[in-house]
Structure 1
Amino acid sequence: MEKKAVLIGALDTKGHEYQFVKDALQACGIDTFVVDTGVLGEPLFKPDVSADEVARAGGSSIEELRRQNDRGTAVSVMTQGAANIAVQLEKQGILGGVFGMGGTAGTTVAASALQALPIGVPKLLVSTVASGNTRPYVGVKDIMMMYSIVDIAGINRLSRRILNNAAYALAGMIQQAGLEQESADDKVTLGITMFGVTTPCATRVREILEKKGYDLLVFHATGTGGLAMEELIKAGYIKGVADITTTELADDLVGGIFSAGPNRLNAAGAAGIPQVVSVGALDMVNFGPPETVPAQFKGRTFYQHNPTTTLMRTTVSENRELGRMLASKLNEGTAPTILVFPKAGVSLLDMAGKPFEGKEERLALYEGIKQQLRSDITMIDMEQDINDSAVADVIAEHLLKLLEHKKDG
């Protein structure tokens, strides 16, 4: 079945604009498939999936939404329905790429469908809010957002250019995807987590694994980085992990800006893939500029990493709890797991003579882990700091052994 460009949007209020994009895609030789999410009135042209079908996929019906006449409810139902429809189309082999556009409501509905799709599927969203905070719409998926400049209300000199560019971009992605062939000798993909203060370790581990023929994805542990890695593990892309930098746990516990949420460190264990885990950058919690640090932390130890990033040293009690958290997460999994603990420091700042040097904090972290960790999970104590080459070598060596063992099994 030839894959199509799936257009998702409200054909009652944006029908002319969707017709324009549909025509532009077809002029590029791309077949289209249209999903209507409009609630207010009848579509300008007949879609392939009606608004009522979308509403029912979201747990209601068009008649009920129109009767209630509540915009919030309608957006919520159509958001869920659009996501469910998109997943169905992808499973059916119809979907080659997805397009959406709109203001806040239209962007929300279309984004839900795009976020529900696997990484690698072409996704493009023209939006009036694309120049602001796009995290709610992009999440951890490879969604391309294009700022519409003007409101999406009619075809004019400027919107014509913007929408044509969007159509051409999506057409190119779909056409290129059709040319790509999965190679029989594709490398096995592994994930590594890294922060600026764990870069030497992560870089050496990456280089060792690459020399062994593995494909490495490096994730910056800034919340979205950890979430992206977890998502790719769940999707089956990543087959093993060197989770060197677990700092996002500290932000989640204490309230920093780089939290990856409560499910960080769960995916590998649930998927059963080999993982070597360490305690990189658990000495710090991240905030923005100094004036953004909450008043409750006055008097704590800080380090100004750059003008927009303020680091706060984690305390003894926080480290003990972080140790318990880390161990508990590893305990829940079924993955072959090894934990490497560098006793001389967990980051470039937590070393002798450095701003976050903390022997008591590291001891509390160590004790928290030991108290909680399952007896069958191997914990390797290293006398060096995390960025010492010996630590990187041990991480790489043990991950390679776990991968070989899994391959042989």
Structure 2
Amino acid sequence: MSNLPSEPEFEQAYKGLENSSLFEKNPEYKTALKVVSIPERVIQFRVVWEDDNGVLQVNNGYRVQYNSALGPYKGGLRFHPTVNLSILKFLGFEQIFKNALTGLNMGGGKGGADFEPKGKSDNEIRRFCDSFMRELCKHIGAETDVPAGDIGVGGREVGYLFGTYKRQRNKWEGMVTGKGGNWGGSLIRPEATGYGLVYYVEQMLKYAGKGNFSGKRVAISGSGNVAQYAALKCIELGATVVSLSDSKGSLIAEGDAGFKPEDVEAIADIKLARQPLTAYEHKGAFKYIEGARPWVHVGKVDVALPSATQNEVSEDEAKTLVSNGCLFIAEGSNMGCTQEAIDVFEAERKEKGGEAIWYAPGKASNCGGVAVSGLEMAQNSQRISWTREEVDERLKLIMKEAFENGLNTAKEYVEAKEGELPSLVAGSNIAGFVKVVQAMHDQGDWWESM
């Protein structure tokens, strides 16, 4: 029996990899899995700060430095009341293999605090970030660990964090990504996860012989950066986006029109002001459903892009998507589908061959954000800036290669009947894992014969 506390989110991510067919063909990798599943380092610290009323507040701060076989630890910081070690371990564990799939030299990590930014003033946010970074700065740096933003950590928070690091360490270096465009940030970094998600699904559509996004109906959850930019890119490519959501409920398009770019941009402004979707004056063009996710309310869709948070598609919602004719689901969020939902999609894929629903896991389909973070690191190292077009072309290529890597690895390791679409979840899991543990073997982190 393990002496560790229960960590349900991490255990879900671990079991998803543990059950891979890789270990049937390569049993020696079981030892590597035991090694890679334990973080190289976990840093936990208190964050003491003062609110606007002069009252002392305290939160828990964390950084999980999971694996550095491929490069400096890389992964976001999340500020949210639900943050705990289980969630950060799951996110960090997934991040290792997601970063490997980008083809860039980045290890995996994750961090954050159980702090709620909503309802806080700019000064409270600044004081919290200052206290948080005064401790974290002892453990990170451009060649060691390079955090980024995540839920609750946007451009404002990144700026405050960078400023404290610079003052504490007396260094201007690329120790965090998602920086402002005029002080070291990369063009299209805010758009990267959403754009990359759509570029990945373009490859799925093309391989499956279903054309492109033109004329497709797309359901999207979430209304943050990932959902906003995925929606805008889908609309640009000729698709009809029929839903967006937040933690309070969902907006569902009425009729065939879908969201227009100006709708998405207005919602972006609302979210920037930390307001719920109910603040959007949609004037009857949409139906708002309180307390609901979109999946059972959108009717027939071709593509579903969960882009809000983990475990946001349940088994029953997966069955509804299948029955409503959805053919492609790709995660813009990390572990957006429960294991039961993934089982539904994978069973359909095996049963129906080329006309089945095809599922792509977040470690592959949403790796565009961290990919452009890696490109930002490269630009910082060279003290240069690439054009928007250069970054976008590099992002498209990275997403294409991530798709092909998972696809070809699935063909190699997973038996499939004729006409069956390859398992992107198995292929992506195996491809990312093998790349990391081969590097670990070369570096002496584990040493059973391969």
Q: Normalising by structure 2, report the TM-score.
A: 0.23
